[in-house]
Amino acid sequence: MIKASTGHTVMLACDHGYFMGPTSHLEEPRKTIAPLVPFADALAVTRGVLRNCVDPKWEVPIILRVSGGTSILQEDLSDEGITTSMEDAVRLNVSAVALSIFVGTAHEKQTLLSLSKLVDEGEECGIPVIAITAVGKELEKRDARYLGLCCRVAAEIGCHIVKTYYCEGFSKVVQGCPVPVVVAGGPKLKTERDAFELAFNALNEGAIGVDMGRNIWQNSNPVGMIRAIRAIVHEKATIREAEMIYSEKDKSNLISA
């Protein structure tokens, strides 16, 4: 999952269907994922997609989404529980498991206890746990004070990596979290440059990598996008260099907007 030579990672998030259903450009997971796998250090999916849409020949570590229980139809997305057992994670030979925590919501306690349970089970079989600091539909919560609290609580419970959002003052979030931090791409940004700036700034402020989905596979040139993000993460490319890599478009990689 983490490239040994750089200590950084480009995770490809493709688990959105567990609460969003057939998301735009992820209606056929295998078709979307296949051209991107060679450029990803890890692939985040659910067990349904892993069993039915991921080619066993693909040499990519799997991060298994194991939490859920609500859909986008609900106003409150925080009422999640564990949906996949650690035994199944072992059978599926995954490299890590991931679940969302909802700090500050009505379901804070149950998601934090789910994290604790997952860490206990993961320790028994050697599978690391990634905690995702989810905010549901309340995107305004993404500030340094709130995210710093979420990340620290997750680390104290025992997760091995935290996935969180980039924000103003992000370096303080990283400084207060004793485990590695990966930045989420979040909803698709307005421009490619916005995504490049997010990755570049997050790495410079202490993140070990990114976990991007929609900003890659919803782009009209997804391969160019992941190649550019990979250059920022592993080769310390500048934003301008990333733009140049992205602009090297191969028509075979383009998709309809």
pLDDT tens-digit readout, 167-225: 999 999 999 999 999 999 999 999 999 999 999 999 999 999 999 999 999 999 999 99
pLDDT tens-digit readout, 58-84: 999 999 999 999 999 998 889 999 999
Q: What is the pLDDT of residue 160?
A: 98
**What does the alpha-carbon distance between residue 82 and residue 100 come to, in Å, rounded to a whole number?**
10
What's the average model confidence in pLDDT over 229-234?
A: 98
The CATH number corresponding to 9-253 among 3.20.20.70, 3.40.50.10190, 3.20.20.300, 3.20.20.80 equals: 3.20.20.70
248 pLDDT higher than 60:
yes
Q: What is the pLDDT of residue 249?
A: 62
Let me know the angle formed at the C-alpha of 143 by 23 and 186, rounded to the nearest 5 degrees.
15
239 Cβ partners below 8 Å, 6+ apart?
193, 196, 197, 200, 232
Any idea which residues carry the catalytic annotation? 163
Other beta carbons within 10 angstroms of residue 128's beta carbon come to 18
What's the average model confidence in pLDDT over 134-141?
A: 66
Q: What is the pLDDT of residue 256?
A: 45
257 pLDDT higher than 50:
no
252 pLDDT higher than 50:
no
Q: What is the pLDDT of residue 154?
A: 98
Q: What is the pLDDT of residue 76?
A: 87
pLDDT tens-digit readout, 126-137: 999 999 999 855
More confident residue, 257 or 111: 111
Q: Quick one: what percent of the chain has pLDDT higher than 70?
A: 94
Mean pLDDT of the chain: 94
92 pLDDT higher than 80:
yes
Check if the beta carbon of residue 247 is closer than 8 Å to that of residue 224.
Answer: yes
53 pLDDT higher than 90:
yes
Q: Quick one: what percent of the chain has pLDDT higher than 90?
A: 91
251 Cβ partners below 8 Å, 6+ apart?
none
What's the average model confidence in pLDDT over 39-53?
A: 98
> Given CA atoms 231, 236, 237, 242 in this order, what sign does their dihedral have?
positive
113 Cβ partners below 8 Å, 6+ apart?
none
